[in-house]
Structure 1
Amino acid sequence: MDQKKKRILGQSLPIPTFQSRKKRTPMMSFFSKVSGKLRLQNRESLKKVIFIFAERAQDSSAKKRHMAMKGLGTLTCESPNKVKKYKKMVLGLLVHGLYDPVSSDVIHESMKILSIFLGKIQGKGLGSFFIDITLQTRTLLDDEDDNLRYSAFVLFGQLAAFAGKKWKKFFTAQVKQTRDSLRVHLWDRNPQVAKACKTTLQACSPYLRLRKEYSFQSEEEQRNPKLCRQLSHYHPELLQFFYANKIM
């Protein structure tokens, strides 16, 4: 009987331990599985991994949606050439996150990843996603959250380079409607947002026909306007790093 009791106790002990661990680290458990699949891409296709993120991006939990966007961002940075093959699927997920109804974290993460991903694909093949991204980004330029405003200006500046002939008329109208926001946030309370706004105004100047109205710029920015625009369009993550560390 003693041996039988020991066996029963031994079998029952792992149950509460497993449950408490599951409560403590549900996100870590999920992403460790995904990371394992990323390391074993020969056996598990990249498409399946993206489907996992797509499923979590629809979850009722804002934390899971946020982590799904972060995971998608990691995937985009680590395997950009492979992710390009699933461009429409990835763009669909990011745009969906951009319109998240309740979580500013999901929206912010989606904007950051979109900035990086658009740089990787150089704005090609956006299709109607261009309209969705532009409209939502515009609404975030005046958001109370500094991080959202900053990322919105970075992304909006990028879109200026990718409008092309197809969306030129549409984007020109959007820029004109955004003129007041661009002017107001040149003196934003957050200096990083103000810098991002200046770079965005430079990128949007052809749509406003403002080519010589940069007297508000610092001496460094006057020397490097082309560099700022190029970083904004193709390497926004570097531009954000330079701003954050006061390199530019």
Structure 2
Amino acid sequence: MDKTQRRIMGQPFSIPTSQPKKKRTPMMSFFPKVSGKLRFQKQETLKNMFFILTEGARDCSAKKRHMAMKGLGTLACEAPDKVRKYNKIVLDLLVHGLYDPVSSEVIHESMKTLSIILGKIQGKGLGSFFIDITLQTRTLLDDENDSLRYSAFVLFGQLAAFAGRKWKKFFTTQVKHTRDSLLIHLWDKNPQVAKACKTTFQACSPYLKLRKEYSFQSEEDQRNPKLCRQLSHYHPELLQFFYANKIL
């Protein structure tokens, strides 16, 4: 860390405000600018922003952690090269945010930012973070919060695309454990969640037919046509997709 970075980490980051008499913390003054559509220009500014965001992501304040996660998402959109450079640091922060013990807002923002970053890095460099992200995301598929469920389905669908050969066996097992959630939320009360679930179901379909026990084509399912009737009525195109791919 150079002198400039140490100075920024050790001293307040002051930004002029329109109301100078109103006291604002340096971190809270900084985040709204990062969360907006800010165009980053100078490399030094990018570096400073990144280190301030990493500090915020570890802050004891849930509000600051939430805003830091949001800022990292904006940084990933505006300066993906910077995120790739510090890939492991960013992923570590986001995984910790995904397991935040206090704030559902931090968890939600971490998932949204992970979705952005996975798209930027195309799943490269995930390493063992893939396991941590998958396990926690799977538990959120049935969360009572609509926003968390929606983001969890989106992220889980992305993970299906990035499992690769290394995590294929692991992810296949996770999809097997997730099958009930995938079926239930096709009829989720929230239409956006149901739509995200449908997309994720299709993304996970290759993992459902790798082995006979992972397929819906069991004797029990064949004896009970209820699932097929429901799909035929509510999601005929999904039923056709399952038939075409020999999942049903």
Shift of 1:26: 5.9
Q: Does 1:50 align with 2:50?
A: yes
- List 4+ stretches of structure 1 deviating above 4 A: 25-28, 32-35, 37-40, 210-216, 221-225
Q: Does 1:65 align with 2:83?
A: no
- 2:166 is paired with a residue whose SS is coil
CA gap of 1:82–1:218, structure 2 versus 1, over 3 A, is farther
Q: Does 1:180 align with 2:180?
A: yes
CA gap of 1:94–1:123, structure 2 versus 1, over 3 A, is same
The match for 1:22 is 23
- Contact residue 205 and residue 211 of structure 1 kept, 8 A: no
- 1:101 is paired with a residue whose SS is coil
CA gap of 1:82–1:150, structure 2 versus 1, over 3 A, is same
Q: Does 1:217 align with 2:235?
A: yes
The match for 2:98 is 98
The match for 2:136 is 136
CA gap of 1:203–1:30, structure 2 versus 1, over 3 A, is same
- Contact residue 47 and residue 86 of structure 1 kept, 8 A: no
Whose radius of gyration is greater, 1 or 2?
1
1:166-205 alignment runs, 5 A limit: 166-205=166-205
Distance 1:202 1:112 in 2: 20
Distance 2:179 2:43 in 1: 50
- Contact residue 27 and residue 67 of structure 1 kept, 8 A: no
Distance 2:165 2:42 in 1: 39
Identical residues among aligned pairs (%): 73
Could you say what the CA RMSD is over the residues aligned between the two structures, in angstroms? 2.8
Name whichever structure is richer in helix by fraction: 1
| Structure with larger RCO (C-alpha < 8 A, sep 6+) | 1
Q: Which runs of 5+ in 1 are unaligned?
A: 1-16, 226-248
- Contact residue 40 and residue 78 of structure 2 kept, 8 A: no
- Contact residue 28 and residue 64 of structure 2 kept, 8 A: no
- 2:23 is paired with a residue whose SS is helix
Amino acid paired to 1:168 = K
Shift of 1:187: 0.4
Distance 1:116 1:190 in 2: 23
The match for 1:5 is none
CA gap of 1:33–1:208, structure 2 versus 1, over 3 A, is closer
